[in-house]
Amino acid sequence: MAREGKIAVVTVHGTGDTATTLDGPKWFQRGSSFVQALSAKLAASGLDVDIHPHLWSGANSAAERERGAERLAPLLKRLGGQYESVHVIGHSHGGNVANEAALHLRWGMKRRKNEPMHSLITVGTPFLALRAGFLQTLAGMLFLALTWGSIVAVPVLALGAWVNGDLTENVAGFLVLIAIVGLCSLFMLSMSRRGARRILRPRKAVATERPMYAIWHENDEAISFLRRVEELPIEPFPEGALFRGSRSAAISWGVFAVIVVSLILPSLYAVGWFDAFGVDTTASAGRGVDIFASIMLGLLIAPIVFVAVYLGYRFIVGGVAEIGVRRPVNGWVGGVLRGIAMGRDGDQFLGQVSTESHTHQTESRKLEGEVVQRMQAAAAASADKLIDKYRWSLFTVGADSNAPLTDLATDAMTWDSLIHTTYFDQPEVVDLIAAHIVARAGALN
C-alpha cells in the first residue's frame, strides 16, 4: 500500500565510493550533508522523503555494475508499491547502474499506470554503450530457444510417460530425473534471459515518456578521461615494429644453425650417433680425416647457412607478422587497454562515452556560471595542497618512493582534488536535483 504524500529517493554511488552502512557522511548515505540539504528542499515544497541508499561493490567492472543493476531493479519495484513516487540519483558509474536497472524495468518504454520509478537523475555519469558481437547474438538467441524447448519438453515427456504406463516400475527414479532436469532448465533460463537482455539492449536512445535528467560539468575528469582513452590512437606496435623486432630472433636462429652445422653435426658423427640411421661411422684409418673434413666443410658453408636462416626468418616470419599480424594485434591490445579503463571484464564491448544515455531519452543539463568556476577552483586548490604534502617525499634523492606513492593514491585529499567528486557539495546541484524531483512528483497529481 503506497503511503500518500511520501516519496522515496534512492541514491546510487559510483566507482570506488562504496560503504558498509546506510548511514554516514558520504553523499549517498542517510545523514550526509547532501541528503539533509535535499530533504530540506523537498520538505519546503511539501514532499516528505525517505532516503534509500543502494550499495554495490563500486568496482570498475562491467560485471559488477550489471550485478548492481540486477539488485537495484527489484528494490525499485518494491519501493514503487510502498511510496507515492520513487526517484533515483546516480553518481558517476552509479548512473550506469541505474540506467541498466531502468532497462530491466523497461522504464518509460511502455504505457502503464504505476511505474516503479518516476525520475532518474544522473550526476557526472560517463554513459557507456554496451553491445554484443554477431556470433554472440546468434548463439544467445539459439540458446534461449533451446532453453524454452527444454522447459516445454520436461512436462510433455513426463505426461507421455505417465499416459503410456512407463512409470510403473521406477517412479522414484523418473521423478528424480525430472526434478534434476527441471532445476537445470531453470538455471539455463536465468542465464539465457540475461543473455537475451544484453542482445536486445537498445543501441540508441528510444523515445520515452520520462526522460533521464543528466547533470554534468564540462571538465569532469571521469568523462573526459574515458573520452580521451576511447579516442586515443593506441598502437603498441607501430609500422615496421614487428619486422624490426624479428632481427634479434633472426640472428639467434642464424647463430644456432651455424653451431649445429659446424660443430654439433661433426661431433655426432664422431661418436657414431648416425649409426642408427644407416651411416657407417666405424673406426677406420680415414675416420679422423672425415671428421676434420666435415668440420672444415661446416665452417666453409657457415656464412651461407647464417645468411639463409637470417634472411628466411626476417622476411618469412617477420614479414608475415608485419603484414598480416600487426594490425589485428594492435587492435586487440588497444581494445584490452581501453577495456581496462572502462571496466570491461566479460564478453561485452564497451565504448561511445557520452554525457547522455544511449538507451533512454535524456534531458542534458551542463553546469554553467559561478558553480563551474567554484568547482574548478576548489579542485585546483585541493590538488595543490596534495602535491605540496608529498613533494619532498616524492622528489628526495635516495628516498623510498613506493611509500609516498602508496600514501598519495589512498589519501582522502585525492578524492577532494577532483571536480568529479565535488558535485554534491554545490548548492546549485542540490537545487537542480530538488527541482527535478518536485516537478516529476507534481506531474503525478
Q: Which three-class secondary structure string do you get for 120-176?
A: EEEECCCEEEEECCHHHHHHHHHHHHHHHHHHHHHHHHHHHHHHCCCCCCCHHHHHH
pLDDT for residue 389: 64
| pLDDT (mean) for 311-330 | 86
- pLDDT at residue 286 is higher than 50: no
Q: Given the DSSP bridges, would you call strands 362-366 and 127-131 parallel, antiparallel or unpaired?
A: unpaired
Whether 246 and 338 map to the same domain: the answer is yes
| pLDDT (mean) for 70-86 | 92
Looking at 146, 181, 198, the residue that finishes a domain is 198
Strand-pairing partners, residue 400, are none
Q: Lowest-pLDDT range, 137-141, 266-270, 284-288, 427-431?
A: 284-288
Counted domains in the chain: 3
Q: Long-range contacts: 295-299, Cβ < 8 Å, 24+? A: 295/262, 295/263, 295/266, 298/261, 298/262, 298/263, 298/265, 298/266, 299/262
**Residue of 23, 32, 16 lying closest to 430 (CA atoms):** 32
What letter would DSSP give residue 208? -
Distance of CA 232 to the CA centre of its chain: 18
Say if 82 falls within a structural domain.
no
Say if 303 falls within a structural domain.
yes
Q: Is 94 helix (H, G, I), strand (E, B) or coil?
A: helix
Confidence of residue 283 (pLDDT cuts 50, 70, 90): very low
pLDDT for residue 349: 73
**Residue of 13, 18, 227, 251 lying closest to 127 (CA atoms):** 227
Whether 252 and 180 map to the same domain: the answer is no
**Residue of 131, 132, 68, 57 lying closest to 95 (CA atoms):** 68
- pLDDT at residue 223 is higher than 60: yes
Whether 338 and 245 map to the same domain: the answer is yes
Say if 43 falls within a structural domain.
no
Say if 396 falls within a structural domain.
yes
| pLDDT (mean) for 91-113 | 86
Say if 381 falls within a structural domain.
yes
| pLDDT (mean) for 67-71 | 93
pLDDT for residue 116: 84
| pLDDT (mean) for 223-248 | 82
- pLDDT at residue 87 is higher than 90: yes
Q: Given the DSSP bridges, would you call strands 119-123 and 362-366 parallel, antiparallel or unpaired?
A: unpaired
Q: Are 358 and 102 in contact (CB under 8 A)?
A: no
| pLDDT (mean) for 76-95 | 93
- The separation between the first and the last C-alpha atoms of the chain, rounded to the nearest angstrom, is 17
| pLDDT (mean) for 324-341 | 79
Instruction: Flag whether the pTM goes above 0.85.
Output: no
What letter would DSSP give residue 2? P
- pLDDT at residue 267 is higher than 70: no
- pLDDT at residue 268 is higher than 60: no
- pLDDT at residue 328 is higher than 50: yes
Looking at 290, 323, 342, the residue that finishes a domain is 342
Say if 142 falls within a structural domain.
yes
Whether 247 and 312 map to the same domain: the answer is yes
Task: Pick the most confident of 137-141, 146-150, 155-159, 376-380.
Answer: 376-380
Q: Are 122 and 359 in contact (CB under 8 A)?
A: no
Task: Pick the most confident of 85-89, 131-135, 183-187, 250-254.
Answer: 85-89
pLDDT for residue 211: 87
Whether 308 and 255 map to the same domain: the answer is yes
Please report, for residues 135, 137, 200, 201, the alpha-carbon distance to residue 141 in angstroms, rounded to integers and kept in the order given.
10, 6, 10, 13
Q: Lowest-pLDDT range, 25-39, 83-97, 317-331, 428-442?
A: 317-331
- pLDDT at residue 169 is higher than 70: no
Confidence of residue 293 (pLDDT cuts 50, 70, 90): low
Tell me the residue range of the domain where 258 lies: 241-342
Say if 77 falls within a structural domain.
no
pLDDT for residue 132: 67
Say if 429 falls within a structural domain.
no
Whether 267 and 334 map to the same domain: the answer is yes
